[in-house]
Chains A and B, each alone.
Chain A
Amino acid sequence: MESFPGQDVSIRISIDSRLDQVHMVGYAVHGICSQLGLGDIVVYQLELAVVEAVNNAIKHAYGSVAGHPVEVVISVNDKRLQFEICDDGETLHFLTKSTGLDFDPRNKTSLPEGGMGLHIMEQVMDDVNYFVRDGRNCLVLGKSLSKRN
């Protein structure tokens, strides 16, 4: 298990705004998180949360148009793991509103086929913050490592 006493380590990844490149971000998140002593399910869910964020940037901020950058910065120290996902596309105001996931499991026609990404991020992470900085949209996903959950 890796530990980072008293220091911050970060890695920066950039992909083009194409859904067929998102798995590369997923592999990076998975690889790093696997070294932190987290369980398989937590590692999976962290990869999932970041993939959801990158998918949102590509599909909604860039309207599924290729040729734009999506940047992911993964930072870790002995207390906290953080993912910052930034794009230069449209600002997604829906990311500032927690909507939950409300449906009747017995009613097939009401089942959601989309709109689950933010709910997943909020369930998995300890904090989710979206803001515009220097004209860029950034979603910051944070997880405390002291809980070791």
Chain B
Amino acid sequence: MRIDEVKMGEVLVVKPMDKRIDASSATVFKAKMADWIRGGEKRIVLNLSEVEFIDSTGLGAIVSSLKAMGGEGDLVISNPRETVMSLFRLTRMNRVFQILPSQEEAVTSLSKA
């Protein structure tokens, strides 16, 4: 799984370039996120603009990343498609994550934190 990354001030923006985060790729995604978090990243934007499909295993990997950050950090979602957004609503995870329409808004939100 290819994930682009760029540091914007204190915020790390990660952008999965694969179209699917599913049960076959979730383990790799989760491991990469864990590496960044263990490396000290406390403010992460997950840009989902390229992702067309997430299943519950992929969503579980995103939740796991949030939990791995503990109380010190935050993970903000940006640019989800309406279809992917519907998964967050079906599982009530839209009430867990801050989800913003653009990467810029997400970076700004975390920069203020």
Q: Is A5 an interface residue (CB 8 A)?
A: no
Chain A interface mostly:
helix
Indicate if the CB atoms of A116 and B59 lie closer than 8 Å: yes
Interface of B is mostly: helix
Q: Do A101 and B92 contact each other (CB < 8 Å), given the known contacts A40-B82, A41-B83, A113-B67?
A: yes
**Which residue of the partner chain A has the closest CB to B84?**
A44
Size bracket of the B interface: 20 to 34
User: Which residues of chain A have C-beta atoms less than 8 A from B82's C-beta?
Assistant: 40-41
B23 x A19 contact (CB < 8 A):
yes
CB pair A44–B55 under 8 Å, yes or no, is no
Do B56 and A114 touch across chains, with their CB atoms under 8 A apart? yes
Which residues does A use to contact B, with CB under 8 Å?
19-20, 22-23, 26, 40-41, 43-45, 47-48, 51-52, 55, 58-59, 101, 103, 105, 108-109, 111-114, 116-117, 119-120, 123-124
